[in-house]
Structure formats: structure tokens, C-alpha cells
């Protein structure tokens, strides 16, 4: 019975990834048909650039969702870390130190998230929601609601909007991290343990693995990704501002789910998430091309996410 | 015996009591008809939002769209209300109907769409706040003074806010939760499989719970409209977090099945009033979110401190 269930689940996952890439291909074709002017390197270049920010956040979010949790602290973790970097660099510290401090910030926030989930056994949904509010307040207090008006360091700008051989640097960073993530998820012990926790944490614990450390790892990756995205977005927008992370809650989660990762954890992976990230970015670009305002965009986007989830990420019938 | 059912609310009651005593020492004026009115007005929106959250939490879900429904109903009410009593009443009914519709969407997607409540309500959070922004792109609107007075005024020491809350609590909430529906909601939250086996229609129960949540969230939006006398598509954002915090603080069990109304309602007043207490104590208003998030996290940790004392981690995993 369990075997059958496992087989069905793994079929479903592969199916989900295939669906995600098919959807991506369809979407690209639809975009080019809708507006032939889009079929240019410039458009693809812009999509890759924005997808990189979402994809980097979605690395940690994929891992956290694989263990059956969720990280809702991304928006203000991103903002807070970016603010730390901006204030340090405008206070005259070196860029590398400032970036290091921001990334450390993200790691610590991720670790606190993990302690609540792994040690106190709290539901990550409410714990990270509380963390998000705490960081929102902390950002206001830290900056006195006046974001630093510093010049963004050249290195940060280069990382976010620079090009290497015509390819956005941010997308190359994303590609490197993506390859690393896929290898870690598929080949490393940590990766296997992530899936194991999502399926049955007790079984993993009984076989001698301290599952708490695995949870710690997943949330720290998520915190690190949020901080890194904060740094890159600072370079992209040439400024840090309060609320810069607000758009980065639903979208990376949507990328993970569209990519075929099971919301309850245990199956899926980053290969699908890559397609998911590209899908959400192209959808957003199309909505912008169609001249739909922010409000309409939010509505259409929410509806599309729900439609896609309905299409292929439904749960089993609870009463079976 | 009767008190045992309300044991989980004790923390909120004690906290609110201590807070009010401290507030009274700093600002004796709160013990006047005016002070009572101010205090009551402050927490009523969140109390209604907390009830909206509670009914969904009782089914074992979480409703992240509560804040968006509060915004949406605030925008609808402030935009279309007009100044004639008949139109005011009609728009109030319409707003509650929109809230019910929002809850219906959530409920159908959870029950028949079989999507996780977190994902459904995260997506509808965007949809409903987008709709709110369409109804009211800029803050503003028109709210007749008699409407604001009827909900935020007072008669001696009796604030009308309390009357409004008690009507929602004793004329709507209690009868519904004591009915078969209430029992079914708790049963589904406690054990959906068991509820199904006992002949409870699980999807229908889930949908009705979300509809009830939507109506209470819309009622919160209507109260907020009386308080601010204008509409603002971004005003409800904080009510998602704070309603969850009130429900947790009020002793309801995330994961479903357990929780009674008094706890979350009193916790809602605590969480709202503490902001003005901090203000009175000279702490910068920027600390508001720090305290709201911090209180939620501290309450959560204190509720689960027992995990540190457990010798065998396995017993925890099996829970």
C-alpha cells in the first residue's frame, strides 16, 4: 500500500515537472504570438534578470516546502538585510564587509526561524509570520523610517545589473546556485534527509538522524537566499527602501508550487522550481505588456496561481 | 465546571487586566465615559477579525486573507455608502454579502479544490486586496457622521462598540457555534476522517466555516470604516498577522478543534490597547510591529516550553 503510494507520488512529481516545462514553453510561444516584438534577446535578458531574484529566494523556499514547512518571513528578512548592507556601506565600511553582514543577518534570521520550528515544534506559518512582523518593526526602528540615501556600491550594482558575455550577472549567480542546489538535493545526504522529513520525520529520527539540524539547514538556506536577493535588489533598484520585499512573498512560493513541489512536503525539487520562476516572471511581464495596473495584476496573478494549483497540485481526497 | 471550558482564555484575561491597571496608573482618564469609549473602539475591529480567524483555525486551517477582506469591505463601504440611511443599510448588507462571497471562494477552493488553506488564502489575499485597490485606488470616500456615531459613540459608560461586538458575539457567533454546524466545525478540525465517518459533510462544513469567517472579516471592515470614516485599500494588511496573534494568544489550538471565542476577543483588545499604552509610556510608534510580532512569538514559545523538558524526542515527533 505504502509502496504503491510512493510510486504514485513519484510519478506525480515527474509529471509535475514535465507539466511545468510544457507550460513554460507554451507561455513563451504565446508571448511571442501575442506580441512578436517580444521575441528578442532584450526581452529574454530582462526576464532572466528578474527571474534570478525570484529563483534565488525560491531555493530556500523549495527546501523549506520540501520539509513540509513554509517561510513567510522572506519579505522583511530581505528588506532588513538590504538595509543592514546599505547602512554599513554608507557608514564607510567596505562593500564586502557590508554584504557579509547582510548575509549573516539572513542566516541568523533563518536560524531563529528553525529554532521555533525544530525545537519548539511551532507551526512555521505562524512563527515566520511573527518573525516577518518583528523584522518589519526592526527595520523601521533601525532606520527611523528614513531609509539610507547612500550610493549603492559599484560591486552590488554590477552583480545585479551587470553583464558577463551579454548574460545578466544575476542570472549567472542564479545558475551557479541552481546547479549547486540540484546536486545537493539529489546527491547529498542533506538533500535526501529533506525529502525524508517531508515524508516521515519520525522514521528519519529513528534511523539515527537528528532531523532538527536538517530543519536548521533548510531555514538557514532560505534566510541566506532572502538576504542575497535583498542585496541584488538593492543593486537593481539602485536603492534600499522600506517595503522593497513586499512583492517577494507569494511569487517565489508560487514558483515552487508551479514547479511541482508538493505543498505538504516530501516530493518535488528545484528543477521544477526553475521553470516555475520563469513562468511567474513571464506571466508578470505579459500582464505588464497588456497594460494592466498593479491592482489588476494582483487579481489576475492570484487567479492564475489558483488555476495552476487546481490543475496539478491538488491534494488527495481526505476521506479516501 | 463551566469555567473549565474557558481555561485557555485565562492568559488573555490576566494580560488585559494587568495592562489596563498599568494604563490607569499612567493615564487615569481612561476611567471616564470618554476613556471607556476610546478603549472599546480601539479593539473592536481586531476582535471581529479575530473571530473571523478563529472559525477558520477551528477547522484546522489558517486564513491569510482576513486582512484583505477587511480592506475590501472598508473600501466598498466607504465608497458606496452615500448619506441616506437606507443606502447606508443597503451598502452594509452588500458589504457583508461580499465578505460571505470572499469566504465562499476560499471555502470552495479548500473543500472541493483540495488545495492547502495556506496556499488558497495566500493567493486570495492578493486577489481581494487587488479588488480593494480597484474599488478605491486612492484613500478617501464618504461616511455619514450618524453611521460613525452609531458604532463609535457611547451612552455614559456604555460604548456602542461593546453593543456591536456583543450583538455579533451573542446573536451570531454563539448560536452558530452551539448549533450542529459549530459541533461539525470543531469535529472537522479535530479529525476530518473521523468527522466524515460520523456522517458529517466535511466539504459543506469547511465552506460554511470560511463563509462565516468572511462575514466576520467584513463586519470588522465595516467597524473600521466607522472608526476611520474613510476607505483605504492598504488599511487591513496588519489584521492578518494580528488576528492570528489574537487567536493564538486567546488559547485556540492551531491545527484545529479547540478554541472558544472569549480568549481571542480579549486578546484582540490587549493587542490593540498595548499600542496606545506604549505610546503613553513614551515608546516610539515604530516599535508597534516589533511588539505585535514579538508578543506572538513569545506566546508561541511559552506555550511550547514543555518541548525542552522532554527526555525522549521521539514522543514529541509522534505528536
* Residues of chain A contacting residue B187, judged by C-beta atoms under 8 Å apart: none
Number of domains in chain B: 1
Position A1 scores a pLDDT of 47
Nine cell digits for residue A138: 526592526
Domain that holds residue A69: 2-312
CB contact under 8 A, B130 and A120: no
Q: Return the closest-CA partner of residue B249 out of B307, B183, B301.
A: B301
Asked if the C-beta of A244 comes within 8 angstroms of chain B's C-beta atoms, the answer is no
- A133 domain-assigned: yes
The answer, yes or no, to whether residue A104 has pLDDT greater than 50, is yes
CB contact under 8 A, B196 and A125: no
CB contact under 8 A, A319 and B193: yes
Identify the residue whose cell numbers are 506525480. A12
More confident residue, B253 or B111: B111
Q: What is the DSSP letter of B9?
A: G
* Residues of chain A contacting residue B283, judged by C-beta atoms under 8 Å apart: none
Q: Are B124 and B65 in contact (CB under 8 A)?
A: yes
Q: What is the number of H-type helices and E-type strands within chain B?
A: 16, 2
Identify the residue whose cell numbers are 481612561. B30
Q: Are B232 and B37 in contact (CB under 8 A)?
A: no
- A318 domain-assigned: no
Q: Are A61 and A74 in contact (CB under 8 A)?
A: yes
Q: Are A57 and A248 in contact (CB under 8 A)?
A: yes
Judged by CB atoms within 8 Å, which residues 104-123 of B form the interface with A?
109, 113-116, 118-120, 122-123
- A232 domain-assigned: yes
The answer, yes or no, to whether residue A6 has pLDDT greater than 70, is no
Averaged pLDDT for residues B74-88: 89
Domain that holds residue B301: 4-318
Asked if the C-beta of B148 comes within 8 angstroms of chain A's C-beta atoms, the answer is no
Asked if the C-beta of B194 comes within 8 angstroms of chain A's C-beta atoms, the answer is no
Position B253 scores a pLDDT of 83
Task: Give A128→chain B minimum CA distance, Å.
Answer: 9
Per residue in A149-192, pLDDT (tens digit) is: 667 888 888 888 878 888 888 999 999 999 999 999 988 999 99
CB contact under 8 A, B289 and A133: yes
- From the list B118, B129, B286, which residue is nearest A145 (CB)? B286
pLDDT-derived band at A320, boundaries 50, 70, 90: very low
Give the burial class of A314: count Cβ atoms within 10 A of its Cβ; 0-12 exposed, 13-18 middle, 19 or more buried: middle
Q: Return the closest-CA partner of residue A232 out of A173, A286, A297.
A: A173
Number of domains in chain A: 1
- A256 domain-assigned: yes
Q: CB under 8 Å to A58, separation ≥6 — which residues?
A: A225, A252, A255, A256, A259, A270, A273, A276, A277
* Residues of chain A contacting residue B254, judged by C-beta atoms under 8 Å apart: 123, 125-126
Residue B235 φ/ψ, nearest 5 degrees: -70, -25
> Residue A82's domain is classified under what CATH number?
1.10.3470
Task: Pick from A13-27, A117-131, A144-158, B86-100 the range whose average pLDDT is largest.
Answer: B86-100
Per residue in B136-169, pLDDT (tens digit) is: 988 888 888 888 887 887 787 888 888 888 888 8
> Residue B301's domain is classified under what CATH number?
1.10.3470
The answer, yes or no, to whether residue A319 has pLDDT greater than 70, is no
Percent of chain A with pLDDT over 90: 40
Which of A7-16, A33-42, A176-185, B133-142 bottoms out in mean pLDDT, i.e. has the lowest?
A7-16
Q: Are B23 and B223 in contact (CB under 8 A)?
A: no
Asked if the C-beta of B204 comes within 8 angstroms of chain A's C-beta atoms, the answer is no
Asked if the C-beta of B190 comes within 8 angstroms of chain A's C-beta atoms, the answer is no
ipTM of this predicted structure: 0.83
Asked if the C-beta of A155 comes within 8 angstroms of chain B's C-beta atoms, the answer is no
CA distances from A59 to A22, A102, A232, A271 (A): 21, 18, 15, 10
- DSSP bridge pairs for A159: none
CB contact under 8 A, B289 and A202: no
- A317 domain-assigned: no
Judged by CB atoms within 8 Å, which residues 30-69 of B form the interface with A?
62
* Residues of chain B contacting residue A137, judged by C-beta atoms under 8 Å apart: 286-294
CB contact under 8 A, A298 and B126: yes
Amino acid at each position: 500500500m505504502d509502496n504503491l503510494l510512493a510510486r504514485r507520488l513519484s510519478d506525480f512529481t515527474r509529471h509535475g515537472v514535465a507539466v511545468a516545462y510544457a507550460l513554460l514553453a507554451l507561455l513563451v510561444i504565446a508571448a511571442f504570438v501575442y506580441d512578436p516584438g517580444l521575441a528578442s534577446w532584450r526581452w529574454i535578458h530582462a526576464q532572466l534578470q528578474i527571474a534570478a531574484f525570484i529563483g534565488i529566494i525560491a531555493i530556500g523556499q523549495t527546501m523549506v516546502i520540501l520539509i513540509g514547512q513554509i517561510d513567510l518571513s522572506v519579505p522583511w528578512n530581505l528588506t532588513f538585510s538590504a538595509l543592514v548592507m546599505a547602512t554599513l556601506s554608507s557608514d564607510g565600511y567596505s562593500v564586502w564587509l557590508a554584504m557579509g553582514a547582510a548575509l549573516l543577518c539572513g542566516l541568523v534570521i533563518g536560524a531563529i526561524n528553525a529554532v521555533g520550528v525544530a525545537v519548539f515544534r511551532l507551526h512555521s506559518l505562524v512563527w515566520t509570520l511573527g518573525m516577518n512582523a518583528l523584522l518589519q518593526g526592526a527595520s523601521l526602528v533601525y532606520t527611523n523610517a528614513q531609509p539610507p540615501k547612500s550610493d549603492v556600491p559599484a560591486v552590488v550594482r554590477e552583480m545585479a545589473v551587470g553583464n558577463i558575455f551579454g548574460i545578466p550577472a544575476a542570472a549567472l549567480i542564479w545558475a551557479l546556485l541552481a546547479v549547486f542546489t540540484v546536486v545537493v538535493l539529489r546527491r547529498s545526504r542533506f538533500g535526501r534527509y529533506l525529502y525524508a522529513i517531508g515524508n516521515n520525520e519520525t522514521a528519519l529520527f529513528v534511523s539515527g538522524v537528528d532531523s532538527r539540524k536538517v530543519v536548521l539547514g533548510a531555514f538557514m538556506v532560505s534566510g541566506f537566499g532572502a538576504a542575497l536577493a535583498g542585496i541584488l535588489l538593492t543593486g537593481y533598484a539602485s536603492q534600499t527602501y522600506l517595503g522593497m520585499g513586499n512583492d517577494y512573498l507569494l511569487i517565489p512560493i508560487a514558483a515552487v508550487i508551479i514547479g511541482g513541489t508538493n505543498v505538504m512536503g516530501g516530493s518535488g525539487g528545484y528543477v521544477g522550481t526553475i521553470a516555475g520562476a520563469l513562468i511567474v516572471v513571464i506571466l508578470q511581464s505579459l500582464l505588464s505588456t497588456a497594460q494592466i495596473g498593479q491592482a489588476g495584476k494582483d487579481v489576475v496573478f492570484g487567479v492564475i496561481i489558483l488555476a495552476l494549483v487546481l490543475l496539478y497540485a491538488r491534494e488527495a481526497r481526505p476521506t479516501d | 465546571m463551566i469555567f473549565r471550558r474557558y481555561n485557555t482564555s485565562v492568559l488573555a484575561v490576566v494580560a488585559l487586566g494587568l495592562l489596563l491597571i498599568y494604563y490607569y496608573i499612567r493615564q487615569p482618564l481612561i476611567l471616564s465615559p470618554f476613556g471607556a469609549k476610546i478603549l472599546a473602539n480601539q479593539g473592536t475591529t481586531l476582535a471581529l477579525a479575530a473571530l473571523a480567524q478563529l472559525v477558520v483555525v477551528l477547522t484546522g486551517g489558517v486564513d491569510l486573507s482576513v486582512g484583505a477582506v477587511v480592506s475590501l469591505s472598508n473600501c466598498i463601504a466607504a465608497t458606496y455608502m452615500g448619506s441616506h440611511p437606507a443606502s447606508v443599510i443597503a451598502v452594509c448588507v452588500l458589504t457583508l454579502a461580499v465578505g460571505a462571497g470572499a469566504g465562499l471562494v476560499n471555502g470552495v477552493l479548500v473543500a472541493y479544490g483540495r488545495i492547502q488553506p495556506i496556499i488558497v488564502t495566500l493567493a486570495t489575499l492578493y486577489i481581494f486586496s487587488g479588488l480593494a485597490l480597484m474599488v478605491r485606488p486612492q484613500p478617501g470616500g464618504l461616511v455619514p457622521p450618524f453611521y460613525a456615531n452609531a458604532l463609535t459613540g457611547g451612552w455614559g459608560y456604555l460604548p456602542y462598540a461593546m453593543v456591536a461586538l456583543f450583538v455579533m458575539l451573542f446573536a451570531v457567533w454563539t448560536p452558530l457555534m452551539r448549533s450542529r454546524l459549530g459541533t461539525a466545525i470543531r469535529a472537522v478540525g479535530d479529525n476530518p476522517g473521523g468527522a466524515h465517518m460520523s456522517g458529517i459533510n466535511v466539504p459543506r462544513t469547511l465552506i460554511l466555516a470560511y463563509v462565516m469567517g468572511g462575514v466576520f472579516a467584513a463586519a470588522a471592515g465595516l467597524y473600521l470604516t466607522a472608526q476611520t470614516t474613510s476607505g483605504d485599500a492598504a488599511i487591513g494588511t496588519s489584521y492578518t498577522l494580528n488576528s492570528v496573534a489574537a487567536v493564538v494568544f486567546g488559547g485556540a489550538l492551531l491545527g484545529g478543534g479547540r478554541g472558544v471565542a472569549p480568549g481571542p476577543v480579549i486578546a484582540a483588545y490587549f493587542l490593540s490597547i498595548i499600542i496606545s499604552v506604549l505610546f503613553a509610556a513614551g515608546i516610539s510608534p515604530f516599535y508597534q510591529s516589533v511588539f505585535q510580532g514579538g508578543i506572538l512569538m513569545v506566546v508561541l514559545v511559552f506555550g511550547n516550553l514543555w518541548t525542552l523538558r522532554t527526555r525522549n524526542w521521539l514522543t514529541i515527533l509522534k505528536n
